[in-house]
């Protein structure tokens, strides 16, 4: 995940709304959102086939979601300059499986490359940022925030450009469980994603052709490797209901798919 926009307000009808864009090497295999983890039957999310983890998952029984972004090391080195023994994709699953509000308690974080982990429900939204040396844990403020690879960084071009746009049309449906379709739930937010997909893309710094404020990424890295925005997820949660939509074609407004996250009998 490279960009996550979070609308959080515990006093709203729908306290939590999220749009999350996943940027990844196109050849890395993945599965669409589902219940992929038999040992965690209540969790729904997309699955990274290489490491069996996820970039975002939800627990409908607790109206809770966790999303992961790659971070930057404290010393300025590239995140891929050395191997790490554990996959960061485990972290959203661990967070949602943790009964307390400190999902990283007792973890040896030196096993993981730098990351930002968002852990949110209708009551609170927390950002955990690990830079390879220090862990910073802070609440996301009430309102709309944009989290990028440098964390909660208002000076980042994406944040500076898009946070006001998403905040101006922040959806707040009154009957979350009774609505159908992305536009009825998330209002103008899907349209902002579609518009971004038709604008100049972000190029990962490989050349000067990209727009650093672009939500959608695309870069030809050579030798058949393409880094790009491969999917977008929408989440909305009140105290009783979670709604989840997904697309792997952000330029196509008709490609959104509503994902079933209904609570299974016996799951608490």
Specify the pTM.
0.94
CB 115 within 8 A of CB 92: no
* Per-residue pLDDT at 85: 85
Q: Is the pLDDT of residue 66 over 50?
A: yes
Closest CA to 138 of 102, 164, 107, 98: 102
pLDDT band at 267 (very low <50, low <70, confident <90, very high): very low
Q: Name the phi and psi angles at 165, rounded to 5.
A: -65, -45
Q: What is the pLDDT of residues 104-154, one digit of tens each?
A: 988 899 999 999 999 999 999 999 999 999 999 999 999 999 999 999 999
Q: What is the pLDDT of residues 74-113, one digit of tens each?
A: 766 665 556 788 999 999 999 999 887 788 988 899 999 9
Give the domains, in start order, of the chain with CATH numbers.
Answer: 3-258 (3.60.60.10)
What does the alpha-carbon distance between residue 146 and residue 69 come to, in Å, rounded to a whole number? 12
Q: What is the mean pLDDT of residues 221-244?
A: 94
- H or E stretch covering 243: strand 242-247
Burial group, residue 133, by CB count within 10 angstroms (0-12, 13-18, 19+)? exposed
What does the alpha-carbon distance between residue 26 and residue 105 come to, in Å, rounded to a whole number? 33
């Amino acid at each position: 995940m490279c960009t996550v926009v979070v609308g959080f307000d515990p006093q709203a009808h729908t306290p939590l709304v999220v749009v999350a864009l996943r940027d990844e090497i196109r050849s890395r295999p993945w599965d669409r959102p589902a219940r992929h983890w038999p040992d965690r039957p209540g969790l729904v999310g997309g699955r990274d086939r290489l490491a069996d983890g996820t970039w975002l998952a939800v627990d409908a029984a607790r109206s809770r979601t966790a999303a992961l972004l790659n971070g930057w090391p404290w010393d300025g080195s590239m995140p891929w300059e050395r191997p790490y023994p554990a996959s960061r994709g485990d972290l959203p699953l661990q967070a949602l499986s943790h009964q307390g509000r400190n999902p990283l308690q007792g973890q040896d974080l030196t096993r993981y490359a730098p990351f930002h982990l968002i852990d949110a429900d209708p009551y609170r939204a927390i950002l955990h940022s690990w830079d390879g040396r220090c862990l910073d844990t802070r609440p996301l403020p009430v309102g709309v925030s944009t989290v990028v690879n440098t964390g909660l960084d208002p000076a980042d071009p994406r944040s500076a450009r898009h946070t006001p746009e998403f905040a101006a049309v922040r959806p707040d449906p009154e009957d979350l469980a009774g609505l159908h379709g992305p536009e009825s739930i998330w209002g103008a937010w899907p349209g902002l994603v579609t518009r971004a997909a038709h604008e100049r893309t972000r190029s990962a710094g490989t050349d000067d052709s990209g727009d650093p404020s672009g939500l959608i990424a695309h870069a030809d890295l050579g030798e058949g490797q393409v880094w790009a925005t491969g999917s977008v997820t929408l989440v909305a949660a009140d105290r009783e209901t979670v709604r989840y939509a997904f697309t792997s074609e952000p330029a196509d407004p008709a490609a959104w798919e509503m994902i079933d996250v209904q609570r299974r009998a016996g799951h608490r």
